[in-house]
Amino acid sequence: GAWDIGGHEHYMHKEICEQPDAVDRVLRGRIDDRFATVHLGGLGIDAREARGVRRVKILGCGSAFHAGQIGAQLIEELARIPADAEPASEFRYRNPVVDPDTLYIAVSQSGETYDTLAAVQELKRKGACVLGVVNVVGSAIAREADGGMYVHAGPEVCVVSTKCFTNTAVAFALLALHLGRVRDLSVADGKRIIAGLRRLPAQIAEILSAEEEIKKLAHSYADARSMMFVGRVRGYPVAREASLKLKEVSYVHAEAYPASELKHGPLALIEPDVPSVAIVPDDELLEKNRATLEEIKARHGRILAVAHAPQEAADDTIVVPHNEPELDPVLLGIPLQLLAYHAALALGRDIDKPRNLAKSVTVE
């Protein structure tokens, strides 16, 4: 059960280790091999309505917002619908233009985050269609939404989200595949994504089996004054989430930037005790990312790369397995959860209940 910590020292560790099973659960019963699509029974929108969607706007806070950023990219890539994510709080305070052809999606682990709930209520008051991508069954956001999908991560006890973030990203892959297949995504691409989804649980297990190596790296980076996380496009939300994770649990200051933005300012911070973590997937942006590593190295910054193959310009590389390029973000973040955990452990932090934080923020 949720409160049974098993052989783990912390819930955070338990929840990181549960991810192969959790991802298996979000996939279970939803894949349709015959039509190379997925069935999402609770969505409440039919194929015709799905085709009418002109835009997707995803709202959430913290890790849910970052999972939403991955979701927006997946929807753009697989369904070719313009999509973006925004912090729910910003959205609700800026008197947004609510558009009848936009599909709004609220993302939340707890389903009780006040800013996200308030955004949903405001949208509904204005007649918008709002879906929920939620973990806690029957929670306020799940009840308020017109439809949606549960991410089935199981109860998450640690204040710092890990397995729910991963499952939410996978849930968005399912939604993007579904929206893609009622639009212009081919059967062949649908099959390619489905095969990729099925590989995820074993690949996550493979990443987790390198824990000892990641622990050593965590010890060698934990004394950093500050850390810079960089990534491009698919790697950028991964960098943002990893940076948040490190801050929350280890209290080490961290920033996340799109790699291409470094030269527009943050490069001034790079020095030997400000290491960088670079997300370097083997995709069409590999050469660009390698140039970023050189840029950092020239300023004597240490570099830890998360990549599909060792990176020469990096001091250290955590190698993760390849999936399909669209699904790689799900895997690239996993070792950085362990990095944050072991850095926090080395620094003697209160892992499951970091100072100043609550599991769900039900106040404004």
Number of residues that bind ligand AGP (CB under 6 A): 16
Q: Does 243 bind ligand AGP (CB under 6 A)?
A: no
Binding piece for ligand AGP, criterion CB under 6 A, among 57-65, 71-79, 97-105, 331-339: 57-65
359 is a catalytic site residue: yes
Does 109 contact ligand AGP by CB under 6 A? yes
Which of positions 207-236 make contact with ligand AGP (CB under 6 A)? none
Binding to ligand AGP by residue 108, rule CB under 6 A? Answer: yes
Does 159 bind ligand AGP (CB under 6 A)? Our answer is: yes
Tell me which residues in 116-145 interact with ligand AGP (CB under 6 A): 116
Residue 188: count of CB within 10 angstroms of its CB:
9
Taking CB atoms, the residue at the shortest distance from ligand AGP is 62
Strand order across the beta sheet in which 129-134 lies: 83-87, 55-60, 102-108, 129-134, 147-150
Token pair in block for residue 134: 């939620």
Give the binding range for ligand AGP (CB under 6 A) out of 17-25, 61-69, 147-155, 315-323: 61-69
| Count of C-beta atoms within a 10 Å radius of residue 183 | 15
Distance CA 82, CA 58 (A): 11
φ and ψ at residue 33, rounded to 5 degrees: -70, -35
φ and ψ at residue 256, rounded to 5 degrees: -120, 135
> Which residue's entry shows tokens 């099959």?
191
Cα separation, 239 vs 245, whole angstroms: 10
CB 281, min distance to ligand AGP, A? 23
The span of 159-167, 207-215, 262-270, 334-342 binding ligand AGP (CB under 6 A) equals 159-167
Instruction: Give the nearer residue to ligand AGP in terms of CB position, either 63 or 292.
Output: 63
User: Is residue 113 a contact point for ligand AGP (CB under 6 A)?
Assistant: yes
- For 36, the 3-state DSSP assignment is coil
Backbone torsions φ then ψ of 129, nearest 5 degrees: -90, 125
The answer to the question of residue 337 lying near ligand AGP (CB under 6 A) is no
Indicate the SS3 state at residue 298.
helix
User: Which residues are identified as catalytic?
Assistant: 359
Residues that bind ligand AGP (CB under 6 A): 61-64, 108-110, 113, 116, 159-161, 248, 357, 360-361
